[in-house]
Structure 1
């Protein structure tokens, strides 16, 4: 395949790539229209929408990078429409992934640490103390009799149940129903006792421990995390529903039909404006140069620390600080995609440099964490929320900003490794 690209002219190589992407666009559109309304059909529809979005991105990026070789009027009219379509189709998936990311982070942050190993209880055959006195004993759990007497179970409890205190019962009654509903969806990190019985005090989270228990309470995050999860789920689910409606309206609009018609024309004939001595490599090199200049503006030295406290302070300082700080990284992400798609045009089916893929994955994680942190901050500004909920959202926001710094560190490692090994 690579030899075939060497034999073709620049216009032919560009035409083959654009026609392949346009064919993928039309195939994905057909699959999306033929998908059914059941669960399996909904999954096929989502996959077709993702494929449609990928083809739109590649066609739009190729028209941008190699526009001197194409009809300028046709290119400038189609590129914004492809960007609109790609952005419209990406919102629903972005909201779903953001909600999943935030709920998983809340589950991780609110889960209590593993309990420390407790000291073994003294053996019943321990030697007596000085003076012939035996060590004091206590009634067996679940009974009201001393050792040696006939065990009589407490009515309503299993024989070995730990009896919670009155404070624990009041806390469980006040916090149980909403947390129990969330625990069924998010796992056992926020689980409340399913039934009064054995190990009741050990399974209760968010309530005070039973008397004599060595486990400390988990604090306000256990209670606030459940309410924060419910708030985020309500807001992001609503946003996802609106994005889904917007995508359905886009598919039925005349604007989308005009884009599909232009792509169908592109699949059969590419409007070239190329001279016989045209070359793709200088245009691809220009895209790579723009990427290198944008990366040079990034604080890669500061991002070279796994725990970047200085950048984290700036990211948490003000409402507009994270957006201003993330903008150069988002620009590099866009330019890296242009460079990667240009390499696909030049190399054909040859695999792209894995270091470029690693850098792109790091920047994708950077954007996801940045958007998740912004969603947590937006939810924390909801009026009249409980202090525990605001506290949990603040911890979640800081956690996602840590993820942003970790993604920057991963990009820095991948990019410098690429620069060292590049010829």
Structure 2
């Protein structure tokens, strides 16, 4: 999804005692450090764009974009990921440190970068969601061998599913005889699970194909070229305000930390401390396809945590340490997001007209399983957030 943009930061906010600052600078760095960070991210963006074009990704058809076949596919996947990574960091920094940047330029850049990052991420999101759901279905069916998606299933838009040792294709959930089976290492998967997997593969492969086409069109559009031109200018000149070079970045980064802390404090962590949250299942298969009412605040915390991480990167330059709590909390919130979206996809598939009762039942079980995964991720977040105070332990793993 495209990155949301929050309320303006408060440049007068007090520095937080939990926010480490580089000791060699005698305090928080000044606006020049922000300019250097943005120039560095812009350079990374342009380097990734050049690699993407060299591997055939710029309007060169499916060969050069994530999920496609071809000699340059892997490099193009990495290039697209690097493009998203730089776009997110530039956009996040423009938000957190907005008072130090030219207002008109910043307001024009942020939504364009969010559009680009969201567009490039959709195809991968659909692919990962499908893999998650198929593995969950396989686990819930009680089979021991992992499913292997048949190449012809992908080519045909997901109309078949094969298991690790199975040789027969299973019709999708909208048709086929009631007694159809799929062979596995131990015997027979339930008909409902097999058909539910075929239906999910058909729907999510179609969505992934459309996202692939949308991304290719976006990379060849005048809108994207305008964004790339502005990033190229940013690599050489950052439009800071007149007062920015002498203004400390600490208060603005501390404001980002405070917004994160306040959002976490507003989460229902007491509910997340229980192993079973029946209320979380109430709205799952309702006719209303709106997002789950409990998920929004958690998604917001995930966004705020990311913005705070980026603010720390600005303060520390290229050597930003990651607090163990931020790392673990981010992983838990990523799992929460993935399970929430997977549950929504299962619920959407269950609303497909004319599916068999066995298929609908399997999708309902799958939906409940993913909602339990949501609750497990919330519990993991609660445990890590309350256990580790900020700044107690550090790790040098790569931030993505």
* TM-score, normalization by structure 1: 0.73
Alpha-carbon distance between aligned partners in 1 of 2:309 and 2:264, rounded to the nearest angstrom: 15
Q: Please point out which of 194, 200, 204 is paired with 2:187.
A: 204
Mapped contact 1:366–1:404 kept (Cα < 8 A)? yes
Aligned to 1:304: 273
> Deviation per CA, 1:148-206, whole angstroms, max 9, x where unpaired?
xxxxxxxxxxxxxxxxxxxxxxxxxxxxxxxxx633xx325x788xxxxxxx9995315
Q: Please point out which of 293, 300, 305 is paired with 1:324.
A: 293
Tell me, yes or no, if structure 1 residue 77 matches structure 2 residue 92: no
Deviation at 1:100, TM superposition (A): 0.5
Q: Closer, same or farther in 2 for the Cα pair 1:52/1:113, shift >3 Å?
A: closer
Tell me, yes or no, if structure 1 residue 337 matches structure 2 residue 306: yes
Aligned to 2:128: 97
Aligned pairs for 1:170-319 (under 5 A) are 182-183=161-162, 186-188=163-165, 203-206=186-189, 222-275=190-243, 277-305=246-274, 307-314=275-282, 316=284, 318=286, 319=288
Q: Please point out which of 18, 40, 44 is paired with 2:38.
A: 18
Alpha-carbon distance between aligned partners in 1 of 2:326 and 2:188, rounded to the nearest angstrom: 45
Alpha-carbon distance between aligned partners in 2 of 1:411 and 1:335, rounded to the nearest angstrom: 14
Deviation at 1:322, TM superposition (A): 5.6
Aligned pairs for 1:119-134 (under 5 A) are none
Q: Closer, same or farther in 2 for the Cα pair 1:4/1:420, shift >3 Å?
A: closer
Alpha-carbon distance between aligned partners in 2 of 1:201 and 1:364, rounded to the nearest angstrom: 31
Aligned to 2:345: 375
Alpha-carbon distance between aligned partners in 2 of 1:417 and 1:374, rounded to the nearest angstrom: 31
Q: Closer, same or farther in 2 for the Cα pair 1:51/1:201, shift >3 Å?
A: closer
Deviation at 1:22, TM superposition (A): 0.5
Alpha-carbon distance between aligned partners in 2 of 1:113 and 1:9, rounded to the nearest angstrom: 55
Aligned to 2:384: 414
Tell me, yes or no, if structure 1 residue 353 matches structure 2 residue 323: yes
Deviation at 1:47, TM superposition (A): 1.3
Alpha-carbon distance between aligned partners in 2 of 1:255 and 1:112, rounded to the nearest angstrom: 48
Mapped contact 1:11–1:274 kept (Cα < 8 A)? no
Q: Closer, same or farther in 2 for the Cα pair 1:56/1:382, shift >3 Å?
A: same
Aligned to 2:357: 387
Alpha-carbon distance between aligned partners in 1 of 2:81 and 2:207, rounded to the nearest angstrom: 18
Mapped contact 2:289–2:348 kept (Cα < 8 A)? no
* TM-score, normalization by structure 2: 0.77
Task: Name the SS for the 2:240 alignment partner.
Answer: coil
Alpha-carbon distance between aligned partners in 2 of 1:5 and 1:29, rounded to the nearest angstrom: 34
Alpha-carbon distance between aligned partners in 2 of 1:356 and 1:333, rounded to the nearest angstrom: 10
Alpha-carbon distance between aligned partners in 2 of 1:202 and 1:64, rounded to the nearest angstrom: 53
Deviation at 1:309, TM superposition (A): 3.0
Structure 1 unaligned residues grouped into runs of 5+: 115-180, 193-199, 207-221
Mapped contact 2:335–2:374 kept (Cα < 8 A)? yes
Alpha-carbon distance between aligned partners in 2 of 1:420 and 1:34, rounded to the nearest angstrom: 43
Mapped contact 1:2–1:350 kept (Cα < 8 A)? no
Q: Closer, same or farther in 2 for the Cα pair 1:315/1:415, shift >3 Å?
A: farther
Tell me, yes or no, if structure 1 residue 400 matches structure 2 residue 383: no
Mapped contact 2:164–2:185 kept (Cα < 8 A)? no
Aligned pairs for 1:28-177 (under 5 A) are 28-36=48-56, 37=63, 39-112=70-143
**Structure of greater Rg:** 1
Deviates more, 1:222-231 or 1:57-66: 222-231
Alpha-carbon distance between aligned partners in 1 of 2:309 and 2:302, rounded to the nearest angstrom: 11
Aligned to 2:172: none
Aligned to 1:135: none
Deviation at 1:320, TM superposition (A): 6.0
Mapped contact 1:314–1:321 kept (Cα < 8 A)? no
Deviation at 1:311, TM superposition (A): 4.0
Q: Closer, same or farther in 2 for the Cα pair 1:281/1:41, shift >3 Å?
A: same
Aligned to 2:176: none
Deviation at 1:314, TM superposition (A): 3.8
